[in-house]
């Protein structure tokens, strides 16, 4: 249940509702909205009896929550969440493009690609220092040395950096360098990692598990919000199906569904969905037309020599064209909205 307070509810009225909820053995979570505070009721066993709260001073409305997820749901917070990272905003009204190589391979490689993607219009740089690889014999990323290169990219270009954390062991280290912490598809239901991310001081980019339905994905995000970190960006990256013409199948319908169900921003990663460069631009156009709040795209200046995911990495000129095309689509959708 959600207790919606009057616009001019006084702090002591809000406190009284919080106490009334907690006296009944449940947890109260005040959520600041545009012009009023709502108080979410968590850890209720079964449905909540609204009667004790109905007559309380400052209470405007009591809304039953019908979804299994709470803090991530629109029922709890109707307004879109906008996440700010330096000068970059992610969320409704913005189209945020993150780009970079799959893996950081060297300082020269990272800086070269960063300059290209920045010039083309990317606002954030994305590159992996810790890489989840199917084979233990494949390049696993540069680790801390890669994080240091990311810091250098930020310093030289001014772009905030996104990078993946694979385990709790390296969480503090990654958090120290990253502006946005990525949790990858393979870790979407790593609940202890999600709990750790709930305590993080940085926004988290949570990719959809390759076999996860949307409820499971939103529940994974719920772990992070429940832990106290309200800054989560969802990222659709394709789900595993039987087809062979692409690495995964981009689930475009996830975009409108997530936008309806949740206030959190949702971006699309067309690169891991496609697995091949010729599909990346059309899938990007479609994602923006479907109202994604942004894209995360793999780009490499020498994809043939890339240490991972070269086949799906765009050449810098292709990325420049992608940015031009999706910005035009975004402008049309914004005028039509």
Residue ranges binding ligand PEP (CB under 6 A): 102, 128, 132, 184-185, 207, 237, 269, 272
Q: Which does 237 bind (CB under 5 to 8 A by kind): Mn ion, ligand PEP, none?
A: ligand PEP
Q: For CA atoms 105, 107, 108, 111, give the dihedral sign.
A: positive
Q: How far is CA 73 from the centre of its chain?
A: 15
User: Would you say 226 or 269 has its CB closer to ligand PEP?
Assistant: 269
Q: Which residues bind Mn ion (CB under 5 A)?
A: 102, 309
User: Would you say 28 or 295 has its CB closer to ligand PEP?
Assistant: 295
Q: How far is the CB of 313 from Mn ion (least distance, A)?
A: 8
User: Would you say 9 or 239 has its CB closer to ligand PEP?
Assistant: 239
Q: For CA atoms 104, 106, 108, 109, give the dihedral sign.
A: negative
Q: How far is the CB of 237 from ligand PEP (least distance, A)?
A: 4
Contact 198, 228 (CB under 8 A): yes
Q: How far is the CB of 71 from ligand PEP (least distance, A)?
A: 23
User: Helical H runs in 132-228?
Assistant: 144-157, 171-177, 191-198, 214-226
User: Would you say 128 or 198 has its CB closer to ligand PEP?
Assistant: 128
HSE of 277, CA atoms in CB hemisphere, 13 A: 17
Cβ atoms < 10 Å from Cβ of 80: 15
Q: How far is the CB of 102 from Mn ion (least distance, A)?
A: 3
Q: How far is the CB of 210 from ligand PEP (least distance, A)?
A: 7
Contact 120, 316 (CB under 8 A): yes
CA distance 228 to 80: 18
95 class by beta-carbon count within 10 Å (0-12 exposed, 13-18 middle, 19+ buried): buried
Q: Which does 314 bind (CB under 5 to 8 A by kind): ligand PEP, Mn ion, none?
A: none
Q: How far is the CB of 268 from ligand PEP (least distance, A)?
A: 11
Secondary structure (3-state) at 327: helix
User: Would you say 38 or 185 has its CB closer to ligand PEP?
Assistant: 185
Q: How far is the CB of 97 from ligand PEP (least distance, A)?
A: 15
Q: Which does 184 bind (CB under 5 to 8 A by kind): ligand PEP, Mn ion, none?
A: ligand PEP
Q: Which does 185 bind (CB under 5 to 8 A by kind): Mn ion, ligand PEP, none?
A: ligand PEP
User: Would you say 39 or 142 has its CB closer to ligand PEP?
Assistant: 142
CA distance 26 to 96: 38
Q: How far is the CB of 205 from ligand PEP (least distance, A)?
A: 9
Q: Which does 179 bind (CB under 5 to 8 A by kind): ligand PEP, Mn ion, none?
A: none
Q: Which does 132 bind (CB under 5 to 8 A by kind): Mn ion, ligand PEP, none?
A: ligand PEP
User: Would you say 2 or 153 has its CB closer to ligand PEP?
Assistant: 153
CA distance 128 to 150: 9
Q: Which does 207 bind (CB under 5 to 8 A by kind): Mn ion, ligand PEP, none?
A: ligand PEP
User: Would you say 88 or 205 has its CB closer to ligand PEP?
Assistant: 205
Q: Which does 127 bind (CB under 5 to 8 A by kind): Mn ion, ligand PEP, none?
A: none
CA distance 248 to 314: 17
Cβ atoms < 10 Å from Cβ of 103: 26
CA distance 112 to 106: 10
- Among residues 223, 240, 267, 224, the alpha carbon closest in space to that of 126 is found at 267
């Amino acid at each position: 249940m959600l207790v919606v307070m009057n616009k001019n509810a006084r702090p002591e009225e809000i406190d009284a509702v919080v106490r009334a909820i907690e006296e009944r053995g449940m947890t109260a979570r005040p959520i600041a909205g545009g012009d009023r505070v709502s108080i979410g009721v968590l850890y209720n066993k079964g449905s909540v009896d609204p009667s004790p709260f109905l007559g309380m001073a400052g209470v405007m409305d009591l809304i039953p929550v019908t979804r299994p997820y709470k803090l991530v749901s629109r029922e709890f917070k109707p307004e879109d969440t906008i996440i700010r990272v330096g000068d970059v905003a992610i969320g409704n009204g913005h189209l945020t493009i993150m780009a970079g190589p799959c893996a950081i391979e060297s300082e020269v490689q990272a800086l070269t690609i960063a300059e290209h993607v920045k010039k083309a219009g990317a606002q954030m740089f994305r590159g992996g220092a810790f890489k989840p690889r199917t084979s233990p014999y494949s390049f696993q990323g540069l680790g801390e040395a890669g994080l240091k290169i990311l810091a250098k990219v930020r310093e030289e270009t001014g772009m905030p950096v996104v990078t993946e954390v694979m385990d709790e062991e390296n969480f503090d280290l990654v958090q120290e360098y990253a502006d946005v912490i990525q949790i990858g598809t393979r870790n979407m239901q790593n609940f202890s990692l999600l709990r750790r991310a709930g305590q993080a001081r940085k926004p988290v980019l949570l990719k959809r598990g390759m076999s996860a339905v949307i409820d499971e994905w939103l529940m994974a995000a719920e772990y992070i919000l429940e832990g106290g970190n309200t800054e989560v960006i969802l990222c659709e990256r394709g789900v595993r199906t039987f087809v062979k013409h692409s690495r995964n199948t981009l689930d475009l319908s996830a975009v409108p569904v997530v936008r309806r169900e949740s206030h959190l921003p949702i971006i699309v990663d067309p690169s891991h969905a496609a697995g091949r460069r010729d599909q990346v631009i059309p899938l990007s156009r479609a994602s923006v037309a479907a109202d994604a709040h942004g894209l995360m795209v793999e780009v490499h200046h020498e994809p043939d020599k890339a240490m991972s995911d070269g086949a799906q990495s765009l050449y810098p000129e292709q990325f420049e064209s992608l940015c031009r095309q999706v910005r035009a689509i975004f402008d049309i959708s914004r005028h039509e909205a």
